[in-house]
Structure 1
Amino acid sequence: MSAAPTSQVTRGVALMILAIFLFTSMDATAKGLIERYPAPQVIWVRFAGQLTLVLLILRHRLGPVLRTRFPVLHFWRSASQFGATTFFFLSLPYVGLAEATAIADLNPVLITLGAALFLGERLGPRRIAGVIVALIGALVVIRPGAGVFTWWALLPLCCALSYATSALLTRRIGAQESVWASMIYAALFGSIVAGAALPFVWQPVATEDLWKFGLIACLGTGAQLCIIRSFSITEAGIVAPFAYLGIVFATCWGAVLYGQWPDRWTVIGALVIVGAGLYVWHRETRALSARPEITGSDAV
């Protein structure tokens, strides 16, 4: 697997940051809705909305997009993405937004290790250092033993496992297929599975909440598009540490929307996380600029 040029790494990192911002915005909106509506209903809107938007965008190009060489990989990728969304949304009534995001953001460790084990990406010292430092920052935010780790905390942990699986499968498919194939198969899977529960849980939607359901669909679609593209053009080990920015974004959303202001340790941990991500990006781009012909097996 060839290493990405510097500009491609920068685009991949930028897309990952945008995806995490959109995902946390979606999660913050969903937290308010799940307090008033059943979780399966909110989850169904997230995926059904994405399906509708993708169908509108593709229109007459739907046939070629649906013809895939990786039906099994698409199935498991769709299932893991659905699992990540479901586990996280189910945790929101019981775990704070910033805390749930911090636990779920253990996924960069899993992605980096999985990329080395299953995709042949080298687990170099700089990537290891970036992941470990960012993990330390995450632990500073959630402070084990301070009441965050309850049985409900297993839900965002399952989200981390599901998200890592989805990311690795996305990287495996990579640029071999259109990004829209992954978008439509994931949306179709989520719409069908979550839709099966609707007859048993559906509640009428208040008029003032319609725009929030629509916002979830748009944010989820945009985030998924960005993250698929990021993992398709850049090695997973490079962009994975930037997922820790989700803790920073979620903390800000919690403060603005729900009055959950971060304390001193949350701010310190967030700064550590941002610094670790910037370190990985800086070292990777410097290495690629200095050795543009390097192959993926020799990358740091």
Structure 2
Amino acid sequence: MTQQNNTRAGIALMIAATVVFALQDGISRHLAGTYNTYMVVMIRYWFFAAFVVAQALRAPGSIAATARTNQLGLQILRGVLLAGEICVAVYAFTILGLIESQAVFICYPLLVAALSGPVLGEKVGWRRWSAIGVGCIGVLIILQPGVGVFNPWAVIPLISALMFAIYGLLTRYAARRDTTATSFFWTGIAGAVAMTAVGVWFWEPMQGGDWLWMGLLCLTGVLGHWLLIKCYEMAEASAVQPFAYFHLMWSAILGISVFGESLRPTVVAGATLVIAAGLFTLWRERRQS
């Protein structure tokens, strides 16, 4: 992948990707509110697998070259973990809604920073630990475990964030020996196989109109990944990553205007702390690199 160092184009592509991913979350919430989550994610992965196979066929050496890896177990674990994370995240949308789920989920960069030491052997200084602590306070403000009756379902997006953080760390580890194309290929294939093994047992007849929504969900999934790939071709990850937080804003707009969700002041305050801590962590990473 050739780096073009066009930061403005990279930022525009990242913001476009967050719009697409927010739409994807909204469609997932709609479909998973009517049909089984496993079935919805399974069909989405079928399309994703077809996309990565098509990409591999166009690459030099075709599928054999793209799929070649000497850490197959790690690649399969990554793919299965991401598929499981998507199931947990979609389920959280149906229980808590888009706004509160995303407000908690955005703490995943802090979890990546916290786990990068024990998992990858990277150095985590006191400044990053301070940012992680601030982010944890923000998550606690959103969850409100000591105010009134604590809703245990609110932990679901936190589990999703932890799974995604581990997936991100495993992806970093895999990148030491495999190309991005290889990791991307196994993400789609392993996830599709895992979701098919589970999802076929939860198949439900789908109404004609909902097949259109399902098709749009599959298309937004592919479009979102394509936009991210092009984004990282255009600019450095550290320059565009802060704009990934636009995802929360689009999700909030969608949740309020389409699903009738409300924006609690504690969610705004907590999410602000989490985002500030995340941006500081990204800034520290960029300075050190």
TM-score (norm 1): 0.75
Segment of structure 1 superposing worse, 25-34 or 100-109: 100-109
Residue 44 of structure 2 corresponds to residue 46 of structure 1 = yes
Q: Which residue of 2 aligns with 1:25?
A: 23
Q: How many residues align?
A: 279
How has the CA–CA distance of structure 1 residues 178 and 12 changed in structure 2, closer, same or farther, with 3 Å as cutoff? farther
Structure 2: stretches of 5+ with no match in the other structure:
none
Distance in 2 separating the partners of 1:244 and 1:126: 21
Q: Which residue of 1 aligns with 2:116?
A: 115
**Which AA in structure 1 matches 2:139?**
A
Q: Which residue of 2 aligns with 1:141?
A: 142
1:73-222 aligned at under 5 Å gives the runs: 73-145=74-146, 149-174=150-175, 176-222=177-223
**Alpha-carbon contact 1:105-1:160 (below 8 Å) kept:** yes
How has the CA–CA distance of structure 1 residues 137 and 243 changed in structure 2, closer, same or farther, with 3 Å as cutoff? farther
1:246-257 aligned at under 5 Å gives the runs: 246-257=247-258
How has the CA–CA distance of structure 1 residues 209 and 278 changed in structure 2, closer, same or farther, with 3 Å as cutoff? same
How has the CA–CA distance of structure 1 residues 269 and 173 changed in structure 2, closer, same or farther, with 3 Å as cutoff? same
Q: CA RMSD in A?
A: 3.7
1:196 is paired with a residue of what secondary structure?
A: helix
**Which AA in structure 1 matches 2:168?**
A
**Which AA in structure 2 matches 1:41?**
M
Q: Which residue of 2 aligns with 1:59?
A: 57
How has the CA–CA distance of structure 1 residues 54 and 27 changed in structure 2, closer, same or farther, with 3 Å as cutoff? same
Segment of structure 1 superposing worse, 175-184 or 109-118: 175-184
Q: Displacement, 1:69?
A: 2.4
**Alpha-carbon contact 2:110-2:278 (below 8 Å) kept:** no
Q: Displacement, 1:199?
A: 4.2
How has the CA–CA distance of structure 1 residues 144 and 151 changed in structure 2, closer, same or farther, with 3 Å as cutoff? closer
2:95 is paired with a residue of what secondary structure?
A: coil
Segment of structure 1 superposing worse, 81-90 or 213-222: 213-222
Segment of structure 1 superposing worse, 204-213 or 217-226: 217-226
Segment of structure 1 superposing worse, 150-159 or 184-193: 150-159
TM-score (norm 2): 0.78
Structure 1: stretches of 5+ with no match in the other structure:
1-6, 288-298
**Which AA in structure 2 matches 1:67?**
R
**Which AA in structure 1 matches 2:25?**
D
Q: Displacement, 1:54?
A: 1.9
Percent identity, aligned pairs only, is 27
